[in-house]
Structure 1
Amino acid sequence: MMIKHIAITVLFLAVCLSYCRAQYPSARSYELNSGWKCHKASGLSVKPETLSESRYSIASWMPATVPGTVLTTLLENKKIPDPFYGMNNNRIPDIAQAGKAYYTYWFCKDFKEAPPEDNGQVWLNFRGINYRCAVYLNGKKVNKEPFTGMFLRQRYNVTRYLEPSGQNRLAVIVYPPDEVGDPNGGQGGDGTIAKNVAHQYVAGWDWIQPVRDRNTGIWDKVTIEKTGAVIITDPFIKTTVPGIRKPGEQQEPAFVHASATLENAGNTAVTGVLRYVVNEQYVTQRVQLQPFEKKEVHLSAIEIKNPRLWWPNTYGPQNLYRSVISFVKDDQEISDSRNIEVGLREVRNNWNMHTRSMEVRVNGQLVFIRGGNWIVSDALLRFSNARYDAEVRFHRDMGLNLIRVWGGALTERPEFYEACDRYGLLVMQDFWGSGDCNGRWMDPKKKEDQWTRRQYPDDHQLFIRSAADMIRMIRNYPSLAIWCGGNEIVLPPDIFHALKDSLMPVLDGTRWFIDYSNSDSMSYNATGGNGDGPYGIQPLSYFWNYRTWPFNSEIGSVGMGDLVSLQRFLPKANQVIPSEQKGSEAVNDSVWTYHKYIGYGRFVNAYGMPRDLEDFANKAQLVNYDQYRSLTEGFIGHQWDWYTGVIIWKTQNPWTALRGQMYDYYLDPNACLYGLRTGNRPLHGMFSFGDSSVYIANNTWEKKDNLMLVVKTYDMQGKEHLITQVFCEAIPQNSKRIFSLNSALSRVAKQEGTFLAIQLLDADKTMIDENIYWLPDATGQYSGLNNMPPSRLTMHCRKLAEGKAEVTLTNPYDAPVAFFNRLSVVDPKTGERLLPGFYSDNYVTLLPGSQKKITIDYPETASGISVSVSGWNLKEQRQKVRP
């Protein structure tokens, strides 16, 4: 027995070492992601059983993109224009007028898979189809019962359908949503899109035009999976981290609790062992399964001594453990195994009696939430690991610690949560509802009254089944921290209570569940608060003086890109300065209006009337930076007094919109990202535009003593004036007002404005934070900026490794301030930006006598790169990067 026990242990450790990230068996699962063909269903008269046989020719069918939507395939085949460019979307027939048959398609895929030997099983998995479908394999219908629902995975045992020759034909007919809605310009069009258990934004919103096929298609992965007779479904790994912890310390133990459902798909009884391995430790449970029996099995907890904990961004490392859960039959054959990465962390929530809002604790430590609202990666659902990685990485680079997945869109894909695990972004996941479509407000754009809309969707049981399935799909990810019933409205009572009182306790039970995104249970709207929002540009003092909800789930501003960004989707004729209509979001340009532009108004003009679109867009970046730096600093400056958290509306766009984004659809960052990055530094000196005071923010869990706070101003010629330098301390996880600059600034800024530099130095005189503001003159204009001498900034570039470079910027001692310089990695031949590029800082300002090193990660496929730099008072320089 001892020899057999050792053999099994070695076998399991070997499985761990051959770990694969996907939560499928690595060598026994593959994706059907190429070679698909499709055809409009109305153009076929053949029986489904016939077209799903290999002998039926599909050679003339159109190549299909799977995963993808009908529009994705039509775009790939150049059957429609790019809906993200100009007003091309208006040239694509909308399903509301064209009819559902217009976007009903057959999708076929030929693949090789021979019937397994012995008790082997072959499974066909769909991770997402929108909205109804019928599935055929080799002339047989696979789904005996009708299938409906965008957010319900499908798994079919297809062992008996496989051809002995191994040549197989899979055929799927996909029908659009039952209710496609009228895209009449309202939020979610006329609202009836919410009758489905699907996303709502596809009928149009104030940041996107309607998606013409409503995302009909096989929109997520299709896989073939091979197992023994027993398959593991929905493993659940829970972690507990008792007490209050700190990164970098010797840790008390943490605990891992594993469970899974086992299903015997064979016609004979099976006995074996369910085993879970993590940190080279394992636990087992002996199991017997009768033919076709399902059984949930709970394993004993594993104690991890001195664990490497998982922490949110800026607070500590994102440690992950590889683990595997497997079922091994008595003959030592592995019937099935699942690989799961585990983050040892515990997330709790507590009510803050002072702010009257919820606060979040991770591993016992209080975390001030700095979040961003996420819609979806791409409006046509063209998902990829690389794009997820880039977008989540941008959120990490903004200094955020949470992403909220908004309720009018999706439950995100597992690859999204994997990226959040890597980069330390907590996730607040909404379910599928919104106050706009689901009846919170009166709305003349809506087809049905509030009482009727209050009961959307039509099929409540489908919603509940879909919610249960999505919980099981993503509950193992350490980044997932909060569940939310929906956006700005509680779901219908039976759905809400099923979620809160039944599904959550049984299927999870480890996370905070919020009734809805601005619920009183999250953030009490007492008389001291003024609600969520606003969603447009504000005076910088607003973010310090105007008190919003104590945990604001939506507040934001502008976010257009620079000229290079705009040229990607604005036709030449529309590349002009938008003429804004006073008191309205509309402008006198149909394309800008179509792409949902919101105005900058006098905030751009304060830098001088722009000469052309390039000048306008560059000045808009100054506004972008200031808006989002002040937004986050204003909330951080009032943390634990007014606020326990803030979530920006919004940080990204799945379409070429002209509002609310830190980077454009093409993954090109604008100055919003770097304004946020500056404002969110863990140890940070700040200037309040509300009362002209200097604050120190310490968003770490360590008290910081012997900090030297240095405050200086610089005039437009670069002359320095020291206001003060003083030793001070920074309270852990808090902000502290140090002193007022009101009288000092009123003198130096009166004539032409001034630069204000706030610096923090440690005991070794090393600068650990620098924050440079540009302040207007007494009339509110930035008049002095237009009289600055030319910059004398120099740049030196060197290659550090493949896909990584270092840029050193130097500003001489006797030079003026080198103001607001943008770096870009470009192709040395074409001059085009290489995307995505990740910069340790950007839109940087260098004081006289200072130097800054910036690291850049860029696409490794680039054969050679140059770096471009240009600024407010610097003409473009370009330098090739050499080893």
Structure 2
Amino acid sequence: MKKHLVLLTILIGNLIAVSAQSLEWLLTDENPDIVWEVKPQADEKASGFEISKPNYKFSQAVEAPVPGVVFSAYVAAGLVPDPNVGNNIHQVDEALFNRPFWYRTTFNTPKKLQSGERVWLHFDNTNRYADFYFNGRKLSGTDSSTRDVSGHMIRSKFDVTEWLNLNGSNAIAVLITDADQKKTRNAEGSFGVAASPTYLSAASWDWMPYVPGRLAGITGKAYLRIVRDVRMEDPHIRSQLESNDIAYLSVSSKISNDADQEQEVKVSGTIQPGNIRFTKSIKVPANNSSVIYFERKDFEELIVHKPNLWWPNGYGEPNLYTCELVCEQGGQISDEKTIKFGIREYSYQFVPNAAGWPVMNFYINGQKIFLKGGNWGMSEYLLRCSDEEYEQKIQLHKDMNYNMIRLWTGCVTDDVFYDYCDQYGIMVWDDFWLYVAYNDIVDYEDFKRNALDKIRRLRNHPSIALWCGANETRPKPELDAYLRTIVASEDHNDRMYKSSSNQDGLSGSGWWGNRSPKDHFENSGSNLAWNKPPYPYGSDRGYGLRTEIGTATFPTFESVREFIPKKSWWPLPTDEELKDDDDNVWNKHYFGKEASNANPIAYKTAVNTQYGTSDNLEEFCAKAQFLNIEVMKGMYEAWNDKMWHDASGLLIWMSQSAYPSFVWQTYDYYHDATGAYWGAKMACEPLHIQWNSSTNSVKVINTTAKSLEGALASVKVYDLHGHIIEAYSQNASINVLASNNVEAFQIPFSTDEHNSALQFIRLELHAVDGNLIAENFYWRNANNDDNYTDLQNISAVSLDVKLLDKKQSDDQRTFQIQVQNKSNKPAFGNRLRLAHAKSKARILPIIASDNYFTLMPNESRIVTIQFDATASMDAVDVLIKQYTHQEEKKLTIR
């Protein structure tokens, strides 16, 4: 996987950007010269004035990651046991972390300052309260004030030029104070009301544990920025479409003048591709600011013909432009900015369904978009997600054919997340920090300042498709009005502001818990709608746009053994323990009482009754993957089936795993793809063929911007032994309009028994030239719905696995593997896995074209697998496991 530099600047030694006049210098872990330490305020009696002196030394401090949180520093130092494992995090004394901590670092001035240059100290995020000191002086508030910055996503910056030691060491001290509520795990009180804006799940949810310290820390980038007296702040680049052939651009920026006299400032811009150039001068008063505007009425160059539009995944390429802005004062470059942006235009319609209720429809660049995606609760429960890991996560979402991620309660505060969503064509539904009972907060002004800064900071990202006020409720009127106003004033309503995540044109939330595909095809019900009168659900109404629906999802055995201690592997908890037991280690990882919404009892029962009881954890995990495939695919396909006949999209709860658990995930915490991943990837493919298990209708789904013409849809049905049941074979030539669906035929299933009750369905979609576009595969029981226990009776067959091709670069390794079934029996549910040949450790993540696939007699499958070259440059084992049989090593690739 190619690594893309998402910082706007390039690491050169310890510098991250150097031009003739400006420089940025990281004060984070990416800079090897920077080491932060953290220590409880209670254990360090000195004041911030003393601690921030260059010659001051902490005693018995802990090295701290920045960006990061206090608790993670202690984890990294080995001072608390691995919180991922067992119930370790629940044994930590939270009182040790739920108190103020000092952060401290030192640095040498990175370059010799030129006359007129200024040095600014920047912090992108601090959580929850912060006081800043530098070289023995207080930067924030007053000398006696505390909790000066009430932040979560608010940026802090300070001009430190006057106090900088040019030829020696400089010191920074930051006092971080945690949020007010939930000082202990079991404390009463509304954490969200007292703490917002913050990471609302930090005090625990039904998918991540209570984090000691509640994620207090320096949670964003810290850096120095060297500019002259005049600087640009929050440049904004807008695009509007006259048509998809003509785009109007406008550029604006706040220009701040820190000099004691008025400055005449020239700002020049270059946009690529297209070599679009523009220049303008303005006067900025002393110690004040002005806003400069570039618009098409003055600059015809900003009328772009045949623009390269930004499209979401599946509908086109996510084309990006780069704007270089240069600010000059007195003939010298004072500041420079580089902004990535995309030319696109969002719009929205509310269309009545069969019951007359409105359904929200999304459009981009005039094209109606069927939403497919998932919710993120957090990037990682201890905020340890690196830039590289963000890219992996977004690539996995693209590979699942998703086009949207919803950031539940504004849970991600790292700009790099948005950078990769821009790059890979993933739209973002972006919430603010309010949830149901927490739709009010203690300090409105704190919330407003953070919300304003969030919009200004992120508005250039083409991926942001909607701003949302609150999760499953509406903000209190004052907050709602404020958010609506700043979206209008700061983002020009280029994206909609919507008060609620599941009402007002949306179809509620849920269900949570596994339900059979047939249930989803026959009823759109939600168990969290809260509409009065009740929202109308049925087989032809109520699907709408659903922003949450989810199920328990067991990871693979290779992952479960990473976080569940071996002594607890088997047996699984009883139904009574799943319902009532607080202390069971399974419950601590959300297979039990803490995740009752996921209905773990029903999940365990479904695996055992549908696929057969197991003798050990490894067998149960393997069978669970097939339930995961079936349930996840069924949810998306039920919405596909009703596309534009009520349904306009589905976002599952959740697509991203922030903590090792058994719920709400596609790939797991370790980036191993569960069966749910493969079910989602299949159901969400842009051109897709699917079977309705309720009506036996076969439909072709087109979620692209191009019509499909003259395609051939076909079905073959096999018995358990791999024999074709000819009576059920069908085919039809079909045309499908862009972003639409059409029924090809119905499979003429009868009540007559044909060889075996358990049957396999293979659907194929071929282009007019005969090339395979898409295929799909199901298993069914003709006599007893959801009973697949006969799959256990399929004997293992000999599979021939060979390497067809391999490619290797500095960034990525790619294998093309052929798997062939040379027998006269089916080879069901083949799972491919890669491992290091020497250590036997698994290689993750991988991007594969297929997995958990079935080969009928004498069939073969070509699978392409890609992975980051840094994961392994040595020999790789290819392993394959047939359903209910032992895994075998088939190939070693060197």
TM-score (ref. length: structure 1): 0.90
- Larger deviation: 860-869 or 381-390? 860-869
Of the candidates 772, 775, 786, which is equivalent to residue 767 of structure 1? Answer: 772
The 3 A distance-change label for structure 1 pair 39 and 110 is: farther
Determine the C-alpha separation between the residues in 2 that align with 1:121 and 1:847: 70
Answering whether residue 864 of structure 2 is matched by residue 863 of structure 1, we say no
Shift of 1:708: 1.6
In structure 1, C-alpha distance between the alignment counterparts of 2:67 and 2:795, rounded to whole Å:
55
Q: 1:319 to 1:114 in 2, by over 3 A?
A: closer
Tell me, in whole angstroms, the C-alpha distance in 1 between the residues paired with 2:9 and 2:247.
24
Q: For residues 749 and 645 of structure 1, what CA distance do their matches in structure 2 show?
A: 37
Question: What is the 5 A alignment of 1:292-691?
Answer: 292-301=287-296, 302-331=302-331, 333-354=332-353, 356-407=358-409, 409-438=410-439, 456-520=440-504, 522-523=505-506, 531-548=508-525, 549=542, 550-581=544-575, 590-597=584-591, 598-599=600-601, 600-605=603-608, 606-691=610-695
Cα 1:164–1:801 change in 2 (3 A) is closer
Matched residue type, 2:606: F
Q: Alpha-carbon deviation of 1:330?
A: 4.0
Change (3 A) 1:586 1:863: farther
Unaligned runs of 5+ in 1: 1-17, 246-251, 439-455, 526-530
Matched, 1:124 2:121: yes
Distance 1:20 1:222, change over 3 A: closer
* 2: CA distance, partners of 1:58 / 1:743: 76
Preserved contact between residue 19 and residue 26 of structure 1 (Cα < 8 Å): no
Does the 8 A contact of 2:106 with 2:169 survive in 1? Answer: no
Which whole-Å CA distance do the structure 1 matches of 2:54 and 2:789 have between them? 74
Question: 1:710-725 maps to which residues of 2 (within 5 A)?
Answer: 710-722=714-726, 723-725=729-731
Structure 1 residues 26-70: Cα deviation after superposition (integer angstroms, max 9, x where no partner): 651121013112222111122322221112223653222111111
Q: CA deviation at 1:503?
A: 4.4
CA contact (8 A) 2:36 2:103 kept: no
Query: What is the match of residue 258 of structure 1?
Result: 251
The one of 800, 813, 829 aligned to 2:807? 800
1:826 to 835, 838, 850: 835
CA drift at 1:163: 1.4
SS at match of 1:501: helix
- Name the aligned partner's letter for residue 568 of structure 2: N
3-state SS of paired residue (2:562): coil
Number of residues of Structure 1 aligned to a counterpart in Structure 2: 826
* DSSP-derived class of the 2:731 partner: strand
Distance across 2 between alignment mates of 1:764 and 1:585: 56
Distance 2:835 2:866 in 1: 12
For residues 517 and 580 of structure 1, do their structure 2 counterparts lie closer, same or farther at Cα, with a shift above 3 Å needed? Answer: farther
1:328-387 residue CA offsets vs partner (Å, 9 max, x unmatched): 2341x2211111112111111111133621111111000011120011111111131111
- CA distance in structure 2 between the partners assigned to 1:620 and 1:194 by the alignment: 39
Offset from partner CA, 1:745-771 (integer Å, 9 cap, x none): x43568430111111112222211110
SS state at 1:555 partner: coil
Q: Which amino acid aligns with 2:338?
A: N
1:64 and 1:273 mapped to 2: Cα distance? 42
Corresponding letter in the other structure for 1:420: C
Equivalent pair of 2:179/2:194 in contact (CA under 8 Å): no
* Contact 1:64–1:107 under 8 Å retained in 2: no
Alpha-carbon distance, 1:227 to partner? 0.7
Cα deviation, residue 839, structure 1: 1.4
In structure 1, what is the equivalent of residue 154 of structure 2? 152
Q: CA distance change for structure 1 residues 180 and 120 in 2, over 3 Å: closer, same or farther?
A: farther
Deviation at 1:210, TM superposition (A): 0.6
Partner secondary structure for residue 634 of structure 2: helix
Give me the whole-angstrom Cα distance separating, in 1, the residues matched to 2:523 and 2:477.
Answer: 35
The structure-2 alpha-carbon separation of the partners of 1:589 and 1:147, relative to structure 1 and needing over 3 Å to count, comes to closer
Distance in structure 2 (CA, Å) of the matches to 1:815 and 1:31: 62
Query: How much has 1:811 moved relative to structure 2?
Result: 2.9
The one-letter amino acid of 1:754's match is Q
The whole-number CA distance in structure 1 between the counterparts of 2:711 and 2:111 is 69
- Residues 130-188 of structure 1: per-residue CA shift (max 9 Å, x gap): 12222111111111342222221101111111013242111111111133455339xxx
| Cα distance in structure 2, aligned partners of 1:726 and 1:509 | 45
Amino acid at match of 1:576: W
Between the aligned partners of 2:884 and 2:43, the Cα distance in structure 1 is: 62
Letter in 1 for 2:336: S
Q: Percent sequence identity over matched residues?
A: 26
Secondary structure at 1:720 match in 2 = coil
- Does the 8 A contact of 1:261 with 1:296 survive in 2? yes
Give the Cα–Cα distance (whole angstroms) in 1 for the partners of residues 61 and 109 of structure 2: 20
The CA deviation at 1:805 is 2.5
Cα distance between partner residues in 2 of 1:505 and 1:776: 58
CA distance in 1, matches of 2:577, 2:888: 40
Call closer, same or farther: CA 1:83–1:588 in 2, change over 3 Å.
Answer: closer
| 1:572 to 1:366, Cα distance in 2 relative to 1, 3 A | same
Q: Is the 8 A contact 1:434 1:489 kept in 2?
A: yes
Whole-angstrom CA distance in 2 between matches of 1:769 and 1:503: 41
How far apart in 2 are the matches of 1:800 and 1:859?
Answer: 12
2:4 is aligned to none
| 2:850 is equivalent to residue 841 of structure 1 | yes
- 1:58 aligned counterpart, secondary structure: coil
Residue 728 (structure 1) aligns with: 734
Instruction: Write the distance in 2 (CA, Å) between the matches of 1:748 and 1:695.
Output: 25
Partner of 1:270: 263
Letter paired with 2:762: A
Report the equivalent of 1:74. 74
Given residue 340 of structure 1, which amino acid in structure 2 is its aligned partner? Answer: I
SS in 2 for 1:567: helix
Taking structure 1 as reference, are residues 565 and 749 closer, same or farther at Cα in structure 2, changes over 3 Å only?
farther
Who is 1:169 aligned against? 171
- The aligned residue for residue 877 of structure 1 is 888
Segments of 5+ residues of structure 2 without an aligned counterpart are 1-6, 29-33, 143-147, 297-301, 526-541, 592-599
Amino acid aligned to 1:551: L
Contact 1:348 1:361 in 2 (8 A): yes
Distance 2:488 2:624 in 1: 45
User: Please, what TM-score do these two structures have when normalized by structure 2?
Assistant: 0.89
Runs of 4 or more consecutive aligned structure 1 residues displaced over 6 Å after TM superposition: none
SS in 1 for 2:619: helix
> Which amino acid letter does the alignment assign opposite residue 133 of structure 1?
A
Give 2:278's match in structure 1, choosing from 279, 283, 289: 283
Q: Is the 8 A contact 1:580 1:587 kept in 2?
A: no
> Which residue in the other structure is 1:249 paired with?
none
Distance verdict in 2 for CA 1:809–1:872, change over 3 Å: farther
Displacement after TM superposition at 1:835 (Å): 1.7
- Bigger drift between 674-683 and 42-51 goes to 42-51
Aligned-pair CA distance for 1:813: 5.8
Distance 1:650 1:514 in 2: 21
Change (3 A) 1:837 1:214: same
Relative to structure 1, is the Cα distance of residues 779 and 699 closer, same or farther in structure 2, using a 3 angstrom cutoff? same
CA drift of 1:710 comes to: 1.4
Q: What SS does the corresponding residue of 2:868 show, helix, strand or coil?
A: coil
Going from structure 1 to structure 2, the CA distance change for 1:848 and 1:412 (only over 3 Å counts) comes to farther
